[in-house]
């Protein structure tokens, strides 16, 4: 697909979305995801991040595109709009990762001692432990994860309780789970290589 | 089937649910409400100038209104630009009339009034009044901007600050007792700069999405 074809095709799909055409919109999101994956993955590899992170970023961009789709003016071209959002999300993603890395490295002395002494073994089942893990989430995500994953409520009832749509609840849950997986990952996420590579390319 | 495909499917299910009143329409409502709030405050709290009827037909008042009006229009165009990804940067030229008026007001001040105002406290009261009047506009415009998609939060916040200060200044022209065009040009701009700074600090934190 050339750039012009893409512009035309995606702009048409965005217009179709406004008319409620979910099929065209879904097809466009898939194409956008593929294109983003192709263009972002090599860039992330260069700063020492893997395919997993690239996928996270692609999802962030898709969610951003979806939530802000009303700011696209059908009278103007679509690709510049998409590029600006992609760029914003890429920068945001890099900044978050840097901050996350720092937070995970900057532990108090007692925490380091705890890491060295306590054998990381039994599954943490008590509510207190669950709460502690959920504490890394923003309040809105925490509420939804607790309701659905801990208390076992349905997506529909949670959406009604929070007065939002089921789609919004799913998106939030999705993000929260990804974030939790990121934090609970037992393997150290910081290898010396990414940092160096990162600095070199800054 | 990856999680991205799941995500895409759940996003696609929401197709057509956002009946998008255009960004411009939302902005117009925000602007009108901001100005209404500022006018309400100037009438109720600060009070309009005693010799208003007499003053309103003279050149200094005309300069104040045209200058602050140019600021409001220019900052509005730039605010819409900041809220829209991929918009053309030529929007920034919309501020040039206000800048030209500022320069003209300072260089060719025909009134001969002192730059620091008629009294020692004039600058303080003037800037404080504008900042006070710009507060409702600030809040309303931030609410608007969160509906938009600002990809440079710091810049968007600064523009919001500047826009609200110019709305405040436009309302303040009814109360301002200083007629020197140099005074107006400089100190109104200083109020805008202060609000722009506050807006940038707030925007940096609040406008991420």
Q: How far out from the chain centre does Cα B167 lie?
A: 5
Mean pLDDT, range A18-28, rounded to an integer:
91
Q: Chain A residues with CB inside 8 Å of B152's CB? A: 88
Q: Chain B residues with CB inside 8 Å of A82's CB? A: 85-86
Nearest to A167 among B10, B20, B149 (CB): B10
Q: Specify the CATH architecture of the domain A126-190.
A: Orthogonal Bundle (1.10)
**CATH class of the domain defined by A3-104:** mainly alpha
pLDDT digits (tens, 9 = 90+) for B102-118: 999 999 888 888 888 88
Nearest to B4 among A17, A18, A58 (CB): A58
Domain count, chain B: 1
Position A112 scores a pLDDT of: 63
Q: Chain A residues with CB inside 8 Å of B13's CB? A: 22, 167
Q: Is B66 helix (H, G, I), strand (E, B) or coil?
A: helix
pLDDT digits (tens, 9 = 90+) for A40-63: 888 888 887 878 888 889 999 999
pLDDT digits (tens, 9 = 90+) for B8-61: 998 988 888 876 667 888 999 999 999 999 999 999 998 888 888 888 888 889
User: In Å, how far is B84's CA from the nearest CA of chain A?
Assistant: 6
B68 in a domain, yes or no?
Answer: yes
User: In Å, how far is A77's CA from the nearest CA of chain B?
Assistant: 9
Mean pLDDT, range B169-185, rounded to an integer:
91
Question: pTM of the predicted model, to two decimals?
Answer: 0.73
Structure confidence at residue A189 as a pLDDT band (50, 70, 90)? very low
Answer whether residue B127 shows pLDDT above 80: yes
Mean pLDDT, range A161-184, rounded to an integer:
80
User: Strands, E, within chain B: which ranges?
Assistant: none
Position B198 scores a pLDDT of: 97
The burial class, CB within 10 Å (0-12 / 13-18 / 19+), for B69 is middle
Q: Is B149 in contact with A20 (Cβ distance < 8 A)?
A: no
B136 in a domain, yes or no?
Answer: yes
B10 in a domain, yes or no?
Answer: no
Domain assignment of residue B108, given as a range: 23-206
The owner of tokens 């956002």 is: B18
Report how far apart, in Å, the C-alpha atoms of B58 and of each of B51, B65, B172 are: 12, 11, 17
Position A121 scores a pLDDT of: 52
B13 in a domain, yes or no?
Answer: no
Domain ranges of chain A: 3-104, 126-190
Nearest to B8 among A33, A81, A84 (CB): A33
């Amino acid at each position: 697909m050339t750039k012009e074809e893409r512009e035309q095709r995606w702009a048409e799909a965005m217009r179709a979305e406004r008319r409620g055409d979910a099929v065209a919109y879904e097809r466009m999101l898939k194409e956008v995801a593929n294109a983003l994956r192709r263009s972002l993955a090599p860039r992330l590899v260069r700063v020492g991040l893997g395919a997993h992170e690239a996928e996270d970023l692609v999802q962030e961009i898709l969610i951003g595109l979806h939530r802000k789709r009303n700011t696209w003016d059908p009278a103007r071209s679509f690709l510049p709009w998409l590029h600006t959002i992609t760029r914003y999300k890429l920068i945001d993603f890099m900044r978050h990762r840097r901050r996350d890395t720092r937070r995970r490295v900057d532990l108090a002395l007692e925490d380091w001692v705890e890491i060295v002494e306590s054998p990381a073994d039994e599954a943490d089942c008590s509510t207190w432990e669950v709460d502690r893990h959920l504490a890394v989430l923003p309040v809105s995500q925490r509420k939804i994860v607790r309701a659905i994953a801990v208390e076992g409520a349905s997506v529909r009832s949670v959406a009604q309780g929070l007065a939002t749509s089921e789609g919004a609840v799913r998106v939030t849950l999705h993000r929260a789970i990804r974030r939790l997986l990121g934090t609970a990952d037992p393997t150290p996420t910081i290898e010396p290589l990414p940092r160096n590579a990162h600095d070199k390319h800054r | 089937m990856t999680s991205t495909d799941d995500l895409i499917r759940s996003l696609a299910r929401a197709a057509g649910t956002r009946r998008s009143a255009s960004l411009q329409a939302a902005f117009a409502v925000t602007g009108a409400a901001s100005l209404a709030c500022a006018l309400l405050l100037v009438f109720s709290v600060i009070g309009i100038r005693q010799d208003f009827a007499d003053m309103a037909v003279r050149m200094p008042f005309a300069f104040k209104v045209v200058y602050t009006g140019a600021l409001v229009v220019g900052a509005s165009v730039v605010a819409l630009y900041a809220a829209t990804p991929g918009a053309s940067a030529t929007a920034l030229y919309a501020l040039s009339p206000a800048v030209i008026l500022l320069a003209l007001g300072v260089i060719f001040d025909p009134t001969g009034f002192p730059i620091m105002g008629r009294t020692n406290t004039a600058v303080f009261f003037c800037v404080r009044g504008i900042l006070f009047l710009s507060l409702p506009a600030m809040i309303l415009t931030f609410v608007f901007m969160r509906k938009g998609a600002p990809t440079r939060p710091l810049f968007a916040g600064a523009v919001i600050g500047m826009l609200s200060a110019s709305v405040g200044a436009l309302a303040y022209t009814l109360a301002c007792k200083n007629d020197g065009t140099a005074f107006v040009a400089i100190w109104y701009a200083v109020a805008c700069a202060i609000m722009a700074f506050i807006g940038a600090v707030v925007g940096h934190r609040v406008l991420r999405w």
